Amino acid sequence: MQPAAAESPVAVETQTAQPPIKRPEKVVVVVNPIPKDRVAGEAAELERFLEERLGVDVEIYFPLNVAAVVEALRFGHAHVALGIGALPAALAFSVADVELLLVEVREVMLGDRVVEAPYYYSYWIVLKDSPYRSLEELRGRKACFPSELSTSGYIFPMYRLVQLGLLKPPVDPRRFFGDVVFAGGYAQCWEALKNGHVDVTVTAGDVPARLYWEAINGSRVLEQQGPIPSHVVLVSKRLPPEFRQRLKEALLELNQRQDLMRKFVSAIFVRFEERSAEEHLGPLLRALEETGLKERYLR
């Protein structure tokens, strides 16, 4: 998840209880924010597919931001969320009555390899000719992060600084670095590093391949952090258990329609698979807890 740096951490009020749905007549699916006009035809195709499998009317909505996705689940306006990132998923668990239905296996970069996995890693990098050989040597220097809302580009890098004993919770990168820039994305941070505006930045194994290889081949990796959970499918517990199972089976069928799902969940989507919430989101929840960021992001 890589929103603009100017945005604030998502805050949603406490959970509002919703009555169970005994016989669903309509299911509302919200997707990770994307321009609706780019996928109008595919949305209609996906709606028809799910209607045939579930026997109910299905409507796909395109919220403007992840906060709207979480609030739609919380207030019962939506029953399913596709392509939601790990951080808003963790928030949804804290404020809405949802369960993790499936996780995404994606094509990501791991070091110098391309792998299929439901997780990935991010990397602290400096330029190849940089004099710095460890993060400890970068105390007082200038660092670039894509966003304070980036799981791989901020939360996990902060967690690594805590693990190395370079920061104490609640973390603030300004207590270690002399200057901190939130540039709005990985590409912007890589440009800042290349042009000598900062001394260190972060890249991740789920960025576009061209950007990843350019950054990795043009830099030296100081530290790796992860595993960072991939995107997930959330479903409201208000839906009957047997209906949730039918939905899961329908989505698993879509593993054969990789082209369609790449429109809605991730451009590097490979397939859905089953995984427990504890196993999948556990690394993120530990990172939030040990950095002292849990109260800030999951309040």
| 215: its two tokens | 């950054």
- The CATH superfamily of 119-228 is Periplasmic binding protein-like II (3.40.190.10)
**Residue 126: C-alpha distances to residues 97, 183, 216, 219, 234 (Å):** 43, 16, 10, 5, 37
Inter-residue contact 235 to 29 (CB < 8 Å): no
In degrees to the nearest 10, what's the CA dihedral of 67, 69, 71, 77? 160
CA-angle at 20, arms to 13 and 29, nearest 5°: 70
Domain ranges of the chain: 26-108+230-276, 119-228
Give CA angle at 228 (87, 168), nearest 5°.
Answer: 80
- pLDDT 10s digit of each residue in the chain, 299 long? 333 333 333 444 444 567 777 788 999 999 987 777 788 889 999 999 999 999 999 999 999 899 999 999 999 999 999 999 999 999 999 999 999 999 999 999 999 999 999 999 999 999 999 999 999 999 999 999 999 999 999 999 999 999 999 999 999 999 999 999 999 999 999 999 999 999 999 999 999 999 999 999 999 999 999 999 999 999 999 999 999 999 999 999 999 999 999 988 889 999 999 999 999 999 999 999 999 999 999 97
The CATH number assigned to the domain with range 26-108+230-276 reads 3.40.190.10
The Cα 236–Cα 61 span in angstroms is 16
The reported pTM is 0.90
Q: What six digits make up the tokens of 60?
A: 């796909």
Helix residue spans in the chain (DSSP H): 40-54, 66-74, 86-95, 156-163, 186-194, 209-217, 241-253, 258-264, 277-291, 294-297
Comparing 26-108+230-276 with 119-228, is the CATH topology the same? yes
**10 Å Cβ neighbour count for 160?**
22
Taking a C-beta distance cutoff of 8 angstroms, is the pair 196, 141 a contact?
no
Instruction: Please classify residue 35 by burial: count the beta carbons closer than 10 Å to its beta carbon, then call 0-12 exposed, 13-18 middle and 19+ buried.
Output: exposed
